[in-house]
Structure 1
Amino acid sequence: MGAVSKWTSLILILQAFLALPSSSKPEELAHIPVNFLNFAKRPEVFDWMVGIRRKIHENPELGFEEFETSKLIRAELDRMGIFYKYPFAETGIVGYVGTGSPPFVAIRADMDALAMQELVEWEHKSKVPGKMHACGHDAHVSMLLGAAKILQEHRYELQGTVVLVFQPAEEGGGGAKKMIDNGALEHVEAIFGLHVSAAHPIGAVASRSGPLLAASGMFEAVISGKGGHAAIPHHTIDPILAASSAIISLQHLISREADPLDSQVVTVATFEGGGALNVIPDSVSIGGTFRAFSKESFIQLEYRIEEAC
């Protein structure tokens, strides 16, 4: 997503935090997003944000390993004079802008990368083999730091406190829960987040009522059988065949059991077992993820996956 879109997203969110007296005239309220956007469009602010995103993109870190990313964020908050607490959930950070009094409203960004090799050749390609910011968390961190800079610039106009939440381990590590368990959202009455998207044109911000992103769970299963030589399969209990059948059954959960109007997905992403081409193994393992938009569908899907495996 382009820089214009990033800033547009920030402006929409930050308007919620800049409280004016109820007697304010419409023309006074109209100046809020204009002032924010004008500040954000300053060349030095633009270049600073782009530089942070590129630096983080070049140095991706996996969940709960975001030590250098966290160090960079803390250094920027220090330069802005923003008070923060660290660590939360090992590498997480929570900053505070405003009066220090209620209401407390949070903005959140995730920090971790994915275990993927970046194949696109460009000047700021990942320098870490097998790790890449493929989900945009480098942009999310840059956007939240940009929000912090705008809010700090207008801190005396705030009526309440904005909580800046930099979360580790979004990609399956349960970082959000650990942040909450560590007290990151203490006193917070509402929280805002957004996600970059390649599906929308630059400058567009998309939303809707109800769930926008699905809940995600993971599963792993070990299928045990009886190994033996590939030449005498009738003397074995083949776990590969059993696991293959389980995978087909898992796909049926969506195609034949899920309501077509209630979006759900099951993905088997790992299938491991065996070490020789002529030996049937004793066991194999499969694993993957499942997603749903409602709590009821999520629980049902989890239950049926356990049955199928």
Structure 2
Amino acid sequence: MVFSKWVFLIVILHLFETIPSTVSSSSLKAKELADISVNCLKHAKTPEFMDWMVGIRRKIHENPELGYEEFETSKLIRGELDKMGIPYKHPFAGTGVIGYVGTGRPPFVGLRADMDALPVQELVEWEHKSKVPGKMHACGHDGHVAMLLGSAKILQEYRDNLQGTVALLFQPAEEGGGGARKMIEDGALENIVAIFSLHVSTELPVGSVASRPGLIRAGSGFFEAVISGKGGHAAMPHHTIDPILAASDVVVSLQHLVSRETDPLDSQVVSVAKFKGGSAFNVIPDAVTIGGTFRALSNERFMQLEQRIEEVITKGAEVHRCSAKVDFLEDKKSFYPVTVNNEELHEHFRNVAGDMIGVEKVKVMKPTMGAEDFAFFAEVIPGCNYFLGMKDETKGPLASNHNPNFILNEDSLPYGAALHATLTIRYLLQFQQPKYLLEDGKVRDEL
């Protein structure tokens, strides 16, 4: 039997009728809270709702845009918010959008989705393949946007019963551009007291989620080094100062930072992913460029690793009579701090997700060496980042993120939309902050 949006609204409205304008978690019955979670998911799974989300996701997938270039994606988002009657502010960090659903008054709780694609040539042959050569949504951000719009649709359908305001943050340039930091600089977190975000996972089954309290993602940075020597004929290397030899030795030495200078129980990563030098088989070049990324699970160890990378490159080059200049690309690719989940918000997430999909499908994960610029948000206000499963054994294995064969399983979309919506609905019901309330129990108009 199709669970129509009208039945959904009747159920939700009934649940809210008995809830006063100021509540605490203890004043709400567990079943009432669980019903909100279950009914949001039922609504998001209806064929009409699913088709709408899938359509949005595919439009974005066909027209991928890199960081700070998400003009058409931003336009599509604003168009959908207009159709739903949701007010918004634009731009933040160039292309970012923030929509607002609810009373327009505190408390404010945020949901965030990243919008940018990657400089990857898509190899998946399907009807909605990327139309832009060399660009692809290979990390699921098209799905993230569709799910946040889906949650907006759910929230808007009973906005009059929200006990505060949900801020919908559509963010540019997560893939190395530090869009979250620039959103913050533009005032995106004004009035917001907590924020949630998700990321699709190719390792978790559809209908399951994973997160953890505290540290969840590594801090990350990038480096590029030009190692200069003296070029010449490859048949007479004694007349040259060989930067290729120097760079090769540096690459090996950089690996020792993890294998010989890091506690084996403390995860760190140094990966050289770029090595460019020379253009002929018999000519030793004047210079070689190397570059890569480094990760650590604390900001302190991250900064130590940065220092050692520079020392190893410059001193290693000197051993081979070369010089080296190291650039950590801070003006192009932001350092990302470690991502730390607020423990209360994680517990809230665990409860909401458990009511929606079953506690056995809510996993506690180990920290990952992948980085997220959601960390900037979580440094300013309490935040919770979680992973949403996409794996379906009946459809075969999924390529990993950032792979040209990456496929987003669209069956995951209703789970993300419903979880986003329910996390904020129940947060506003359960976590009304006393500082926002006047003596008569009414909500303040402003912070």
Deviation digits for residues 98-143 of structure 1 (CA, Å, limit 9, x no counterpart): 1111112111111111111111212222111111111111111111
Shift of 1:52: 1.0
Q: State how 1:187-206 maps to structure 2 within 5 Å.
A: 187-206=191-210
Are 2:32 and 1:28 aligned?
yes
SS at match of 2:187: coil
Q: What TM-score do you get using the length of structure 2 for normalisation?
A: 0.63
Match of 1:151 in 2: 155
Shift of 1:34: 2.2
Match of 1:176 in 2: 180
Which sections of structure 2, spanning at least 5 residues, go unmatched? 1-18, 314-447
Shift of 1:249: 1.2
Match of 1:75 in 2: 79
Distance in structure 2 (CA, Å) of the matches to 1:192 and 1:208: 13
Q: State how 1:55-94 maps to structure 2 within 5 Å.
A: 55-94=59-98
Q: CA RMSD in A?
A: 1.6
SS at match of 2:142: helix
Match of 1:308 in 2: 312
Distance in structure 1 (CA, Å) of the matches to 2:190 and 2:106: 11
Are 2:248 and 1:244 aligned?
yes
Shift of 1:32: 1.0
Match of 2:142 in 1: 138
SS at match of 1:266: strand
Distance in structure 1 (CA, Å) of the matches to 2:119 and 2:22: 45
Identity of aligned residues (%): 74
Shift of 1:35: 2.4
SS at match of 1:133: coil
Are 2:216 and 1:228 aligned?
no
Shift of 1:276: 2.4
Are 2:139 and 1:97 aligned?
no
Shift of 1:275: 2.5
Distance in structure 2 (CA, Å) of the matches to 1:302 and 1:25: 51
Amino acid at match of 2:222: M
Shift of 1:216: 1.6
Distance in structure 1 (CA, Å) of the matches to 2:263 and 2:166: 40
Match of 1:125 in 2: 129
Correspondence for 1:116 among 103, 117, 120? 120
Deviation digits for residues 131-173 of structure 1 (CA, Å, limit 9, x no counterpart): 1111111111111111111111121121121111111111111
Are 2:307 and 1:275 aligned?
no
Distance in structure 2 (CA, Å) of the matches to 1:74 and 1:268: 40
Distance in structure 1 (CA, Å) of the matches to 2:139 and 2:262: 27
SS at match of 2:222: strand
Distance in structure 1 (CA, Å) of the matches to 2:115 and 2:264: 34
Shift of 1:29: 2.1
Distance in structure 1 (CA, Å) of the matches to 2:78 and 2:241: 56
Amino acid at match of 2:113: A
Shift of 1:28: 2.2
Match of 1:11 in 2: none
The more displaced of 180-189 and 268-277 is 268-277
Deviation digits for residues 56-77 of structure 1 (CA, Å, limit 9, x no counterpart): 1111111111111111111111
Distance in structure 1 (CA, Å) of the matches to 2:197 and 2:215: 13
Shift of 1:217: 0.7
Distance in structure 1 (CA, Å) of the matches to 2:281 and 2:69: 37
Q: What TM-score do you get using the length of structure 1 for normalisation?
A: 0.90
Match of 2:339 in 1: none
Match of 1:12 in 2: none
Shift of 1:38: 2.3
SS at match of 2:215: coil
Q: State how 1:11-50 maps to structure 2 within 5 Å.
A: 21-22=23-24, 23-50=27-54
For CA contacts below 8 A with separation 6 or more, give which structure has more relative contact order.
Answer: 2
The more displaced of 185-194 and 256-265 is 256-265
Distance in structure 2 (CA, Å) of the matches to 1:182 and 1:27: 40
Match of 2:258 in 1: 254
Distance in structure 2 (CA, Å) of the matches to 1:177 and 1:118: 29
Shift of 1:20: 7.2
Match of 2:326 in 1: none
